[in-house]
């Protein structure tokens, strides 16, 4: 009976949820590495909205001298009592709009069309910001206490590493072992997949040093570009031949991936043998493998290239992250699966993904964390939208999770 009352209350908020989402996403919140001033204006607007609804807002801001305000804001609202705690973490920052000509609207003046809200940040992560807020409001308006203390947080910096957001909360000791963390920041259209694991992330930068000469006398130089091309091919072959395991929980693809990606300019003209060549690899490695073993495989190929081409190769680790999965048998996975079943009438499926999320930081800290939402997979695109039905449904699932005893 409690759940039915809360779900009906959320249905009654539908129009207000849409209006709040539009108002929130009218405020750009780009980090300084994306040319923005941070999230402060958006956070202050949202804090005023929370306080107008009767919620007491805590701040756990991180210092950042790169933005005019000097801080990256993190908002926290607590509801209920009890030693056990459930965190629902959404983020305020967004990515740049991209090519404005490709948008169906002004990206920072969202519009409603055919049951969807179009605009930058409406799905990533405005949908979660609003869904979590109105799940909390429904509990409060119904006078119903959650099964665990419910802690909602709206953080900064998720799009560029979370150092000033989720990681800041962890460094400050706010999240502890035994807590549950849900990040509604990834999902599929059915809303029945719960992310419990991520591939290890390994980004590598390769710089090959040779000797520059005129292209008509290549024998007097050392072609860094040729050595780099040879290294790319050898790495591609060696990594795919050695790390062949598949894990069907990860899809798509169910295997590790090793992709040569960025390539920097070497020389500006055609008739010069380059002395330096720079390229990058993006590796997403199944958790059964260790990044250090992948790096050892890479170094073996590097030494071969150095001997064969008489070059020097520097390898720089740009990203080297791994995290243990949240076990599929955890109480958190059981609880959110039960909430999905109660609201959506479908069985949940646990999955792993190749992309990195904030959940990895909590898992490394020993805190069970899952990523879940009902998503249309339009994040970061120039046609980003939030399906209104998804936002309302997600709010109901989060409320049902909070009531799960």
Residues known to be catalytic: 93, 158
Residue 318 phi/psi, 5-degree rounding, is: -90, -35
Look at residue 145 and give its three-state secondary structure. coil
Structure tokens at 127: 């949908």
CA distances from 345 to 92, 266, 287, 334, 397 (A): 30, 57, 32, 15, 11
Structure tokens at 141: 């308006």
Q: Which residues contact 90 (CB under 8 A, 6 or more apart)?
A: 125, 128, 129, 132, 152, 153, 154, 155, 183, 184, 185
Contact 147, 403 (CB under 8 A): yes
DSSP 296-326: HHHHHHHHHHHHHHT-EEEEEEEEEE--PPP
Residue 385 and residue 219: Cα distance in Å, rounded?
57
Contact 58, 88 (CB under 8 A): no
């Amino acid at each position: 009976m409690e759940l039915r009352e809360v779900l009906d209350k959320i249905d009654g908020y539908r129009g207000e949820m849409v209006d709040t989402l539009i108002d929130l996403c009218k405020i750009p919140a780009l980090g300084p590495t994306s040319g923005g001033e941070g999230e402060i204006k958006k956070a202050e607007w949202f804090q005023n909205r929370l306080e107008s609804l009767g919620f007491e807002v805590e701040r756990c801001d991180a210092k950042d001298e790169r933005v005019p305000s000097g801080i990256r804001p993190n908002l926290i609202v607590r509801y209920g009592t009890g030693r056990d705690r459930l965190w629902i973490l959404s983020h305020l920052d967004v990515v740049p709009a991209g090519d404005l000509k490709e948008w169906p609207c002004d990206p920072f003046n969202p519009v409603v069309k055919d049951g969807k809200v179009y605009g930058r940040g409406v799905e990533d992560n405005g949908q979660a910001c609003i869904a979590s807020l109105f799940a909390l409001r429904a509990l409060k308006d119904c006078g119903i206490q959650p099964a665990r203390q419910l802690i909602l947080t709206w953080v900064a910096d998720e799009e560029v590493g979370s150092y000033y957001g989720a990681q800041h909360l962890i460094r400050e000791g706010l999240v502890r072992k035994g807590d549950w963390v849900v990040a509604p920041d990834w999902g599929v259209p059915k809303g029945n997949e719960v992310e419990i694991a991520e591939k290890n992330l390994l980004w590598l930068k390769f710089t090959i040093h040779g000797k520059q000469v005129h292209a008509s006398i290549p024998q007097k130089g050392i072609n860094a570009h040729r050595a780099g091309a040879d290294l790319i091919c050898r790495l591609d072959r060696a990594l795919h031949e050695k790390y062949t395991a598949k894990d069907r929980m990860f899809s798509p693809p169910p295997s590790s991936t090793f992709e040569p990606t960025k390539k920097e300019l070497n020389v500006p003209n055609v008739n010069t043998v380059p002395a330096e060549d720079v390229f990058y690899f993006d590796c997403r490695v199944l958790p059964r493998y260790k990044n250090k073993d992948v790096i050892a495989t890479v170094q073996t190929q590097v030494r071969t290239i150095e001997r064969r081409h008489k070059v020097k190769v520097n390898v720089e680790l740009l990203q080297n992250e791994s995290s243990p999965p949240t076990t599929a048998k955890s109480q958190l996975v059981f609880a959110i699966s039960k909430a999905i079943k109660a609201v959506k009438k479908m069985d949940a499926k646990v999955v792993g993904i190749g992309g990195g999320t904030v959940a990895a930081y909590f898992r490394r800290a020993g805190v069970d964390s899952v990523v879940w939402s009902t998503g249309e997979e339009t994040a970061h695109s120039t046609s980003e939208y939030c399906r209104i039905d998804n936002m309302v449904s997600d709010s109901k699932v989060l409320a049902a999770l909070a009531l799960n005893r």
